Structure 1
Amino acid sequence: MDGVFDAKVNFGASKITVYGNTSMEELERAGAFENLRLFPDNAEAPVGKKKPFWQENANLLLSGAMIIVASLYDEKSVTAILLFLGAIFIGGYTLFKSGIKNLLRLDFDMRALMTVAIIGAAIIGEWSEGAVVVILFAISEVLERYSMDKARASIRSLMDIAPKEALVRRNGREFTIHVKEIEVGDIMIVKPGEKIAMDGDVTAGSSAVNQSAITGESVPAEKNVGNEVFAGSINGEGLMEVKVTKLVEDSTIAKIIHLVEEAQAEKAPSQAFVDRFAKYYTPIIILVAFLVAIVPPLLFNGDWNEWIYQGLAVLVVGCPCALVISTPVSIVTAIGNAAKNGVLVKGGVHLEEMGMLKAVAFDKTGTLTKGVPEVTDFVLLAGTDERKLLAKVAALENKSQHPLAAAIVRKAETVGVPFRQKQIEAFASVTGKGLKGAVDGATFHIGSPAYLNEIVDGGIPSSASDKIAALQAEGKTVMVVGADANLLALIAVADEVRESSREVVARLHELGVEKTIMLTGDNRGTAQAIGSLAGVSDIQSDLLPEEKLAFIKSLQKDHGKVAMVGDGINDAPALAAATVGIAMGGAGTDTALETADIALMADDLKKLPFTIKLSRKTLAIIKQNIAFSIGVKLLALLLVIPGWLTLWIAIFADMGATLIVTLNGLRLLRVKDK
């Protein structure tokens, strides 16, 4: 088109990006021969009344009827020939229109080859064969369109997750408006059972929210004041007020859809191979067809009509359509399925490489562990009331900013100990050691064993030292509590291993992953304790970020394909160096979505074995499709030797293969997260 200097088609997402000076109306006119309806990317699809099947495929049905009527007459009669000719023109109009255009451009695609074959059949008087080839091609196009629409529906279903309207409060008034009119800072009222329309933070109320559509989590997440909610998630029983934090086009679900569409447009290695193969394959097929048509008559006195017919059949059977579609349909389907299950795969290349992993490295904190320190042991060393002592300790720790202090405060809140009303005097933080302060007339010291060893009369006794050593051997951080130079209690804090970690690591080994490694900056004792609980095959401790990076590179030398699982921020160098970088908790964290190759949206490690299983199934189906496509071609071409290849067999071999590889690819929709 005049004014257009480039255009890119994203086949999987049904999108075209046009560069240049044109209008929507002009683009729609250019695509009119294929009945294409266009609308802007950020607009809603026009709701048109779907035509009934007979009306949508009137050409196909009329062409079929004419062939049936023609078959009642003598094949060589004028009536039969006119009916077959009519069937060829009516059924093959769109095919010829694009086929002739492509021939003029010397672009020998499937439609160009089919056009040559059908015109050739008509020239040598094979009217019935030409007409049947047209109708079979038209039927296969209808079925193929249905199959691809089914694959694309997995993305469209993502687009329909978030509602288009929301109840908003502005200036004390409540009214329902379209999501495009909602601004950052608006207060959204979300009633029980409603879908949340925009990303935001809860400002009032609480509820259990089903966010499986975004994160793949099966259990609803509790949302209270200050928690983040995502567009497309479903509110439970509570009424909530949500302050909007992102515009509709910046929401987590919008980013997921955009990244999934980009991923589907990106070529996987096997797809790139097939494209290169088809580029050389098609001219070779044209040459073979030409030689089949002329060599037997010229050198062996073969019948010209018979061998031209065989040459045309070779053209049809040689169309590389099944081969070309074999990979993209599988990649599109698999990426859509992964997104529905809360796994964001950012391209076919990552999906393929995920299926070939030999080693998986895990960051410890926040990946194999919960990333939040918890009080695991509260050991009394003197005859004191546990609840009263915990209240005093929590009151002091509440003044501290240390992460371990937060763990003690959470413990007191969990068991319902009243500590906030206690008066604290002479509070002081002792840098690198602990803290001190007066509560209820007594001076308390809380901190490391070394700090309390200086404070307690006669130092820490051996019985308490043995207990401290035993807790530290379990990978726990031990704090000692003393008051007025007396030892009162030991508090052990640890970052607890996720319940799913051991099960996930075991599942990875079952799937054939040779090595699972935990990488951490923690000391060897803590690392050993966590690593043995998680069941990893190797543990690397005391690592700096650059040492994690170096270790990933050495793993790649030993094992080839290596994945790194981390939080997407402090593990960025290792994630980037790994064959596949996998970020935990993609929902709501822009960094994870942008830096990783794959994001587990729910912060759920159990999605990792599912992703590997889906990737391997995808690889297997791609290999099946490529082998089947080439095998069918070779088999059909062998029929040329005895002269048995007919246009009917050729079209069945080509279109049948295309349909089979498409349907085979759609099997990936059935891979479940178990």
Structure 2
Amino acid sequence: MQKTEQETKACCSTGHNESESSITHTSDHAGELKTYRVTGMDCPSCAMTLEKGLSKTNGIQSVKVNYASGKMAVGAESDDMYDAIPGYVKKYGFEAVPEKPVNDSHVYNVTGMDCSSCAATLEKHLSGNPDVQSVRVNFSTGKMHIAHTLTADQVVKEVQKSGFDATPATLRNQKKEDQKAERKLPVTTISGILLALGFLGSFTAIPEWLVTAFYAAAIVIGGYKPARSAFYAVKSRSLDMNVLMVTAAIGAAIIGEWFEGATVVWLFALGNALQNRSIERTRDSIRSLINLTPSEAVIKTADGPVKKDVEDITVHEIMIVKPGEKIPLDGEIVAGMSSLNQAPITGESLPVDKEPGDKVYAGTVNESGSLEVKVTRLSEDTTIARIIHLVEEAQEKKAPTQAFIDRFAAVYTPIVFILALLIMIVPPLAGFGAWGEWFYRGLTLLVVACPCALVISTPVAIVSAIGNAARNGVLIKGGTFLEKAGAISAIAFDKTGTLTEGKPKVTQVIALQDDSDALVSIAKTIEEHSTHPIAQAVISYANERNISSQAGSQFSAIAGKGATAVIDGTEYFAGKPKLFSEMGISTAGIDERIDVMQSEGNTLVAVGTRDRILGLIAVADTVRDITVRSIEKLKQSGIGEMVMLTGDNEGTAKKMAAETGVTRYFAELMPEDKVTAVKKLQNEGKQVAMVGDGINDAPALATADLGIAMGGAGTDTAMETADIVLMADNLEKLPHTIRLSRNAIKIIKQNIWFSLITKLAALVLIFPGVLTLWMAVLSDTGAALIVILNSMRLLRQK
């Protein structure tokens, strides 16, 4: 059942009561609850009167009236009865109108916006529509989120009334839009040519009226779109750059400054064209991800291979993927072995070997063998589709800096606008110069009144940085977390599975009697029937060295201590050294060696018979090679403290810290103690990031200033809960993320200062009459363009 408006609002408020929420539920009776807006109720007792009265009416099965929300939910026997409800309500002195079901928030791509104030104009226009419950437009991403009771066509028409175009933002639509090159009339070029003709004509003998006609034509052609946008902005009671620019151009024409007016319009159009082209490049950072997945797949059927659109493929169908092809949908390999390039998803630089039973992701490239893959997710649910969705959401979330700038701009623009009007009127009234002179200065100040460069300084940098991170296998959940990552001074790592492989491996074999291969062969024979991680480590070690097992019998597990088997009539044991001590076998000769190996973090498997110990096999969790390199790079990035959190004993933790290169460690921690360790670092005045697997470390991730989860490609929980997600199951991209975040903060600061200084310089130069109209336009659009180009450097960071 679709949500009512009340449900939609309740998502943003915790203040709704039980009776409010109850009106949206399906009736226990035959009919579905239908909601009505009720007007005319003066107090809660009116709601009670109406509820009691209607509940006694034949044909009405249930009724619930909520005074606070002005809503009434009715369950009736038939559609005719639902139609008659307003009539019954009227008898009690109230008015009831059936409420249309609210569509959940839909996303549209909006084209034609020149600046962030265009987004505000569109928001204001749509907010005034009674059929629109909520709307949010983001200029940087070109996306509009809208909850409404309209059809898609009606939404598009409403957007067009504001001077823009919109299309539903589905992946299929997005791909079609990217494939077609939109051809537009080069109005900027035509306006520029007419401006040049007028300027050159002013130095020749052609009539002055013709020169003026060239300038007027340049203004009309180049200014048509800004004028159209200005009209809708005024209609929506919005004061944007288009309004200010058009006012300045018309004002220049009124006082006879046709060249100034034409120059203003052309520079504004040129600046917007360049800005839009640059902004499109930042949006392409996500569109490139959309186009990674093929639109068709070859499906295995009883009649042979068949090509199908990915949107038409269902779960459990079998895809055939040949070498060199991209995986069309997420799935599981059922036949074949290959190496897959997973860089588009995880950012990993090296291909990953895959075999039957392994997961594969849409958009990854099959590099060698042919594969048969069982589809596990539909096209809209694939890992890459969810990445795109999360990234677009992240790009639209305002960072603290952006929120502050927006509040500043909202105050700055009307103040400067009023100041411009005062400059036009007060000085000439006071006798300080001619009307024309101060009118011109007022027009120039109008152009300076819109802080375009300042408003766009932060969001474009955030879009660029988050887009870069996504292409490199890192999900940053929003501008807030991007800024936090740049301010981090300490990183706490969970040890197991983060700094280490998370899978024990054999690190040493000590044979006391026979050779080491014979010892491993006996151990493998005993452990082959066990699924314990340590047993699996021994078996993997033997398999890697082609050491075969022997013929055994009477296999048995000894709970918590080890296992036993009979080989060639002799009973052999593999387990903790304590197992042999309990059987009365002396370990006097090897006690010191056992203590040393255990203090270094090894788990020991002793192998022997009832009479003697034949040898020891040391098993330990090993440090990833990539971990050491990543920590070294993080140190080079300026992170002051690298901390390891582990449940291991002091000796093991010390050895592991030395191997990984961390600067500090907390040992013998219970899971809840990790939270205490993070708080301790915070109390020392550090901004702390916690890196874990996103599930077991959830409390510590939540406590830290920044939660970073690893292995997001295989973990839905990590993708949904962490602030930053490393899609690969290693730390390879963490140094890049920290550097990218710091560069983003640096560029945002550069943009803000540049915008403020440019605007201040323009304001100062107006009063002595140095700043002309065209210079004011150039300073505004030029500054915006420079800010955008500066932000785009983040897209290219390697």
TM range (shorter): over 0.9
Q: Who is 1:4 aligned against?
A: 132
Q: Who is 1:365 aligned against?
A: 496
Is residue 400 from structure 1 mapped to residue 530 from structure 2 by the alignment? Answer: yes
Is residue 379 from structure 1 mapped to residue 507 from structure 2 by the alignment? Answer: no
Q: Who is 2:189 aligned against?
A: 61
Q: Which moved more, 1:607-616 or 1:67-76?
A: 67-76
* Structure 1 letter corresponding to 2:452: C
* Structure 2 letter corresponding to 1:400: S
SS across alignment from 2:736: helix
Which of 722, 736, 741 does residue 615 from structure 1 map onto?
A: 741
SS across alignment from 2:150: coil
Q: Who is 1:635 aligned against?
A: 761
Is residue 411 from structure 1 mapped to residue 524 from structure 2 by the alignment? Answer: no
* Structure 1 stretches lacking a partner, 5+ long: none
Q: Distance in 2 between matches of 1:490 and 1:343?
A: 42
Q: For residues 623-658 of structure 1, what are the alpha-carbon distances to aligned partners after superposition, in whole Å with 9 as ceiling and x for unaligned?
A: 000000000011111112322111011001100000
Q: Who is 2:520 aligned against?
A: 390
Alpha-carbon distance, 1:307 to partner: 1.1
Which of 441, 452, 456 does residue 310 from structure 1 map onto?
A: 441
Q: Who is 2:328 aligned against?
A: 197
SS across alignment from 2:328: coil
Alpha-carbon distance, 1:111 to partner: 1.5
1:116-515 correspondence to structure 2 within 5 Å: 116-171=247-302, 173-382=304-513, 384-419=514-549, 422-425=551-554, 427-457=555-585, 459-461=586-588, 463-515=589-641
Q: Distance in 2 between matches of 1:515 and 1:98?
A: 52
- Contact conserved, 1:392 with 1:422, CA < 8 A, in 2? no
Alpha-carbon distance, 1:102 to partner: 2.0
Q: Who is 1:561 aligned against?
A: 687
- Contact conserved, 2:692 with 2:709, CA < 8 A, in 1? yes
* Structure 2 stretches lacking a partner, 5+ long: 1-125
- Contact conserved, 2:163 with 2:232, CA < 8 A, in 1? no
Q: Distance in 1 between matches of 2:661 and 2:536?
A: 29
Shift of the 172–57 alpha-carbon distance from structure 1 to 2, 3 Å rule, reads closer
Q: For residues 47-93 of structure 1, what are the alpha-carbon distances to aligned partners after superposition, in whole Å with 9 as ceiling and x for unaligned?
A: 575355xxx14322322222222224459933333332222222111
Alpha-carbon distance, 1:255 to partner: 0.8
Which of 672, 678, 681 does residue 552 from structure 1 map onto?
A: 678
- Contact conserved, 1:268 with 1:349, CA < 8 A, in 2? yes
Q: Distance in 2 between matches of 1:100 and 1:269?
A: 32
Q: Which moved more, 1:388-397 or 1:272-281?
A: 388-397
- Contact conserved, 2:505 with 2:622, CA < 8 A, in 1? yes
Q: Who is 2:781 aligned against?
A: 655
- Contact conserved, 1:182 with 1:247, CA < 8 A, in 2? yes
Alpha-carbon distance, 1:104 to partner: 4.2
Which of 76, 87, 94 does residue 225 from structure 2 map onto?
A: 94
Which of 53, 70, 77 does residue 208 from structure 2 map onto?
A: 77
Please report the RMSD computed on the Cα atoms of aligned residues, expressed in angstroms.
1.9
Is residue 14 from structure 1 mapped to residue 145 from structure 2 by the alignment? Answer: no
1:532-551 correspondence to structure 2 within 5 Å: 532-551=658-677
Alpha-carbon distance, 1:474 to partner: 1.8
Shift of the 560–279 alpha-carbon distance from structure 1 to 2, 3 Å rule, reads farther
- Contact conserved, 1:9 with 1:17, CA < 8 A, in 2? yes
Q: Distance in 2 between matches of 1:589 and 1:436?
A: 37
Q: Distance in 1 between matches of 2:233 and 2:680?
A: 51
* Structure 1 letter corresponding to 2:782: G
Alpha-carbon distance, 1:286 to partner: 1.1
Q: What count of residue pairs does the alignment treat as equivalent?
A: 664
Q: Distance in 2 between matches of 1:12 and 1:448?
A: 61
Alpha-carbon distance, 1:194 to partner: 0.9
- Contact conserved, 1:11 with 1:265, CA < 8 A, in 2? no
Q: Distance in 2 between matches of 1:406 and 1:165?
A: 41
* Structure 1 letter corresponding to 2:689: A
Q: Who is 1:23 aligned against?
A: 151
Alpha-carbon distance, 1:456 to partner: 4.6
* Structure 1 letter corresponding to 2:187: N
Is residue 522 from structure 1 mapped to residue 648 from structure 2 by the alignment? Answer: yes
- Contact conserved, 2:194 with 2:218, CA < 8 A, in 1? yes
Q: Which moved more, 1:238-247 or 1:286-295?
A: 286-295
Q: Distance in 1 between matches of 2:133 and 2:709?
A: 38
* Structure 2 letter corresponding to 1:378: V
- Contact conserved, 1:143 with 1:659, CA < 8 A, in 2? yes
* Structure 2 letter corresponding to 1:415: R
- Contact conserved, 1:475 with 1:528, CA < 8 A, in 2? no
Alpha-carbon distance, 1:329 to partner: 0.6
Alpha-carbon distance, 1:538 to partner: 1.0
- Contact conserved, 1:446 with 1:481, CA < 8 A, in 2? yes
Q: Distance in 1 between matches of 2:447 and 2:164?
A: 25
Alpha-carbon distance, 1:287 to partner: 2.5
Q: Who is 1:580 aligned against?
A: 706
Q: For residues 317-351 of structure 1, what are the alpha-carbon distances to aligned partners after superposition, in whole Å with 9 as ceiling and x for unaligned?
A: 23111011111111101111111111111111111
Could you say which structure has the greater relative contact order, defined with CA pairs below 8 angstroms and 6 or more residues apart?
Answer: 1
* Structure 1 letter corresponding to 2:548: P
- Contact conserved, 2:552 with 2:565, CA < 8 A, in 1? no
Alpha-carbon distance, 1:281 to partner: 1.0
- Contact conserved, 1:519 with 1:541, CA < 8 A, in 2? yes
- Contact conserved, 2:653 with 2:667, CA < 8 A, in 1? yes
- Contact conserved, 1:100 with 1:115, CA < 8 A, in 2? no
Q: For residues 390-449 of structure 1, what are the alpha-carbon distances to aligned partners after superposition, in whole Å with 9 as ceiling and x for unaligned?
A: 222112112223211111111111111222x62321x33222222223222111222222
Q: Distance in 2 between matches of 1:571 and 1:50?
A: 48
Q: For residues 458-514 of structure 1, what are the alpha-carbon distances to aligned partners after superposition, in whole Å with 9 as ceiling and x for unaligned?
A: x202x3111111211221111211113211010100000111222222222222212
Q: Which moved more, 1:123-132 or 1:153-162?
A: 123-132
Q: Identity across aligned pairs (percent)?
A: 47
